[in-house]
Amino acid sequence: MRQFIRITFATLAALSISAAGEPLPTNMALIPATQYRVPYRSDSDAKVVEVKEFAIDRLPVTNGDFLEFVQANPGWQRSKVKRIFADENYLGHWASDLELGGADPRAPVTRVSWFAARAYARWKGKRLPTTVEWEVAALASEKAANGESDPEFKRRLQALYFSPACDVLPRVGSKAPNFYGVYDLHGAAWEWVADFSTAMVTGDARGDTGLDRQLFCGSSGQNGKDRSDFPAFMRFAFRSSLKASYTVPNLGFRCVQDL
Amino acid sequence: MKSIVILLSVLLQAAAFAAPACCSTNSSLPASAPTDKSIYQVETTWTSDLNKPFKLAQLTGKPQIVAMFFASCKYACPIIVHDIRRIEAGLKEAGITNVGFVLVTIDVERDTVQRLHAYREQRGLDDNWLLLRGTSEDTLELGALLGVKYKKDARGQFAHSNVITVLNAAGEIVHQQVGLNVEPAETIAAVKSLAKK
């Protein structure tokens, strides 16, 4: 029994060491360097992008985590935040500036704007993931780094994305982690990314072509080449509907760190 | 004695209003304190095409017409600048000249101070115009505040939304003109209504 425990701990530790042999920050998982095939891109975007290795929070940022942040940074408290940085629903599910009330400290924090998420990440010495980084982490099923070849995983995801959002989000880490040891990338809250504003969607209709060129210079917005990954498309469409000051009941975030 | 005092105060007031139209830091100009909704609350430091450090709060005091662009943009940005000039012309006709025009580059790598200055010279942009560059993080934040989306493609060109924003004297967004070759009447009316307040 003791031997088993020792081996388990060694493996866990091994998984937390980066390629450079540096230990990872607490509660972060290593995503190794990889190449990512971009599903939603215009003709002038690269098809495949190189992604450097990075560390990602195993868990979404929780209400409890965010409470610590606003205690240390009063300017980000609900009654003090500047309206340009967060809309009037910011942290609406808390009882007050510094009281969670009925909000579960271990549930993902939601109703936070992009500005607020970014400020938290900076406070932690981290940053928000890019879309590509988030999607690479989310590609993994429980058993494989790339869940695209796992039809059962895909089916489960479709079911998750089609079911209505929970009124109350479950505690973080309550379900099985993915291959990288990351929890709650699917089926919990949507998550902010640093470059959400690069998702520029225009319509597919022919009549929209003129509209494309009026609204967006350069490429005519992005096309969805691979429609089979509907959850990815939903995430892409969702991101393109966001503005940085929006707070949404089921939109939270997590952080990454460069290695 | 009284007439000298009156004369002096008139001269002093005249001197205060003789400050250059653009980029004035003269605190005796009528300025609104940055409000909760003012984008001038961000403390980021930018560099103007005249190579001077610049904080957005320095724009306080008069309406500003703001757009994001990049110098090597071949299609939309020249139209955006042209659209702003139509607004400028319409305002001049209406007797409104106390307005600033700000272009902020999204191409932080290539649009150096020199490049921005050359852009100004080529298009004959006068003292009412200001061209700014900043860090990529600060530029992303400003884009987020203005609702301007942009993305660099594989060739280093940018796809970006075409938005012209009107800020009031306090730096609050009061109007946005979206698209290209848009008739400026609505935007001009928005600026006019600010002058009345």
- The whole-number pLDDT of residue A113 equals 98
Partner-chain contact B157 A218, CB within 8 Å: yes
Residues of B in contact with A213 (CB under 8 A): 75-76, 180
Query: Which residue in chain A has the smallest CA separation from B180?
Result: A214
b/e map A41-73, b = 16+ CB within 10 Å: bbebbeeebebeebbbbbbbbbbebbbebbeee
- The whole-number pLDDT of residue A75 equals 97
- The whole-number pLDDT of residue B29 equals 37
**Cα A177 to Cα A78: distance, rounded to the nearest angstrom:** 32
Partner-chain contact A217 B144, CB within 8 Å: no
Partner-chain contact A215 B140, CB within 8 Å: no
Q: Give how far B144 is from chain A: nearest CA, Å.
A: 5
Residue A195 clears pLDDT 90, i.e. is over it: yes
- As given in the structure block, the two tokens for residue A29 are 């998982």
**Cα B61 to Cα B167: distance, rounded to the nearest angstrom:** 10
Q: Which of B149, B155, B178 sits opposite A197 (nearest CB)?
A: B149
More confidently predicted of A242 and A217: A242
Residue A170 clears pLDDT 60, i.e. is over it: yes
Partner-chain contact B157 A214, CB within 8 Å: no
Q: Which has the closest alpha carbon to A36: A53, A57, A59, A20?
A: A53
- The whole-number pLDDT of residue B165 equals 97
Q: pTM surpassing 0.95?
A: no
Q: Which of B140, B147, B179 sits opposite A243 (nearest CB)?
A: B147
Q: Per residue in A200-223, pLDDT tens?
A: 765 444 433 333 445 555 544 455
Q: Which has the closest alpha carbon to A91: A244, A242, A241, A249?
A: A249
Pair B59, B142: CB distance under 8 Å: no
Partner-chain contact B151 A217, CB within 8 Å: no
Partner-chain contact A218 B162, CB within 8 Å: no
Partner-chain contact A216 B160, CB within 8 Å: yes
- The whole-number pLDDT of residue A188 equals 85
Q: Which has the closest alpha carbon to A166: A99, A93, A96, A86?
A: A93
More confidently predicted of A188 and A171: A171
**Cα B61 to Cα A13: distance, rounded to the nearest angstrom:** 58
Residues of A in contact with B33 (CB under 8 A): none
More confidently predicted of B117 and A224: B117
Average pLDDT of every residue of chain A = 85
Sign of torsion over alpha carbons A53, A57, A61, A66? negative
Residue A52 clears pLDDT 50, i.e. is over it: yes
Which ranges of chain B have pLDDT less than 50?
5, 7-32
- Residue B80 φ/ψ, nearest 5 degrees: -60, -45
Q: Is this complex scored with an ipTM above 0.85?
A: no
Strands B100-105 and B64-69: parallel
Helices (H) then strands (E): counts for chain B: 5, 9
Residue A1 clears pLDDT 80, i.e. is over it: no
Residues of A in contact with B72 (CB under 8 A): none
